[in-house]
Structure formats: C-alpha cells, structure tokens
Amino acid sequence: MHILKTHTISFINAFKGIWTALITQANIRIHFVIGSVVLFLSVYLQISSEHVIDLVLAISMVMLAEMVNTSLEFMSDAVTQEHNENIKMAKDVAAGAVLFTAIFAAIIGIFIFIPKLI
C-alpha cells in the first residue's frame, strides 16, 4: 500500500508541475493553444492517423522543451538573482532547444497540412 501512496503523490506532484508551467509561463500557454488548434485542424481536415501521431509527437516535444526550459529557469532563479554568465548560457541553451523544437514542429506541420490546403 505504501508504494501505491508514493506513486499517487508523485503523479499529483507531476500534475502540479504541468499546472504551474501552464499558469506561470505565457510561452507554454501559447504553444498549448497552437497545439490545440493544430489538432483541431487535423480532425477538421481529416488528416491521416499516422500524420496525427506525427503532429502529437511534434507538439509534445515542444511542450517538453518548454517545460524543461521553465524548470531550469525556476532552478537557476532559486540559486541566485544576480547575473551569472554560466546561468545565462544555460538559460540561452534551453531557450534555443525550445526554438529548435518549435521550428521543426512547424516544418512537420507544413509538410502535413500544405497538401490538404492546396
């Protein structure tokens, strides 16, 4: 029974983390809305299930990158509010990871949606 309680608490904390990211980070909310619109359009345009899986994976990767970036920002801000070049570089790299995944998610979306729109 102890293991079940521990896992339940872990899941609750994980959902709190998702909620914290959504309510504190505008960029995550933007990506969430865009991802929702993309999934709605995929149903509306009758995109194949294989391509919907590709879209879900791309959206998930962007959300994952955003959440890792957010956790790194929270952690580094907890360490110090003073300028630290190493923390700045870590934040820049994490932001770059978000940009990288967002660009490639957009490219995947373009390849999937353009044939349906022309």
Q: Where are the domains of the chain?
A: 26-117
% of the chain residues with pLDDT over 90: 89
Question: What angle in degrees, to the nearest 10, is found between the helix axes of 49-79 and 85-117?
Answer: 160
- Burial code of 34-68, b = ≥16 C-beta within 10 A, e = fewer? bbeebeebbeeeebeeebeebbeebbebbbebbbe
**Residue 66 is among the residues annotated as catalytic for this protein:** yes
Question: What is the pTM (predicted TM-score) of this model?
Answer: 0.88
Confidence of residue 92 (pLDDT cuts 50, 70, 90): very high
Contact (CB, 8 A) for 72 and 88? no
Confidence of residue 117 (pLDDT cuts 50, 70, 90): confident
- CATH 1.10.287.3610 assigned to domain 26-117? The reply is yes
Quickly tell me which residue has 């504190």 as its tokens: 24
DSSP 80: -
Among residues 66, 73, 82, 85, the one annotated as catalytic is: 66
User: In this predicted model, what pLDDT tens digit does every residue of 57-91 receive, in sequence order?
Assistant: 999 999 999 999 999 999 999 999 899 999 999 99
Model confidence at 1: pLDDT above 70: no
